[in-house]
Amino acid sequence: MPLSNVTDVIETINNPVSYFSLPTTQTLPIPSTSTRTVAHPHQAKRPNHVSPLQVLDLDRASRIFSRVASDAAENLPNPLDHDPWPAPTTMTVSGLPRLSTGRNGVGAFILQCKKLDFHYCDWAGSSKGMNSFIKTFLPKFAAAHPQIEITVSPRPRKHPVIIGQYINGRERAICVGNMEPLQVLQKATLLRDASGEKVKRVNKPVQSINESVRGVWSPYHGNGMRV
């Protein structure tokens, strides 16, 4: 007796006697003169008027139901995999594995002075300190500042001069006539540390591109101070 769907299988297993009218015992045909009696394990007594095909259909229905139930149990979705309200995930704040780099030029400082020219005279008396500086202090000064181009050139019948050239295109010259070697070294250091910008008077200790929007403080404004 063929079964159409799983509902029929369930109904058959729940009430097999009413569906198939199965007996307690029945006789299976054997190709011999003897007969063999098969007893159902769940029923004590059955009538003897049931055909063997009905018993085979019941066993087949039991096997089909077991297989369908096991397949359905395996294919059931896991509720944890499809949670409509998942728990909020927490994120730990961690720093990036990277060294901090300077963004204002401090991390990669570039000296503004790119060249220093030393001009002197061989016989003039005002170049005596410059000549002594060139012989004693200039080699050490040049070795300590390899990023600065240093040139020494004679200039007859004129006072000694130090000219500094900067990366912004400007130049600055200082006359060192009649100075001692240490004084010449101080002027060379001054040109080395200069930025090349035009010298101007500074009225405020802090310089900014945009002025403050707060304005000038006055005791006559605000809370209405009485005078």
Does residue 131 lie within any of the structural domains? yes
> Which pLDDT tens digit goes with each residue over 47-103?
555 555 555 566 777 777 777 777 766 666 665 555 556 666 666 666 666 666 655
- CATH number of the domain encompassing residue 180: 3.40.30.10
- What distance in Å separates the CA atoms of residue 118 and residue 99, rounded to the nearest whole number? 42
CA 78 to chain centre: 35
Checking if the pLDDT of 148 tops 80, the result is yes
Does residue 152 lie within any of the structural domains? yes
Whether residue 68 is found in the same domain as residue 117:
no
Consecutive H or E run containing 82 = none
Range of the domain at 25: 6-73
The pTM of this model reads: 0.47
Whether residue 65 is found in the same domain as residue 127:
no
Domain count, the chain: 2
> Which pLDDT tens digit goes with each residue over 96-145?
666 666 555 556 778 999 999 999 999 989 999 999 999 999 999 999 99
Q: What are the angstrom distances between the C-alpha of 165 and each of 22, 176, 185, 210?
A: 117, 17, 17, 30
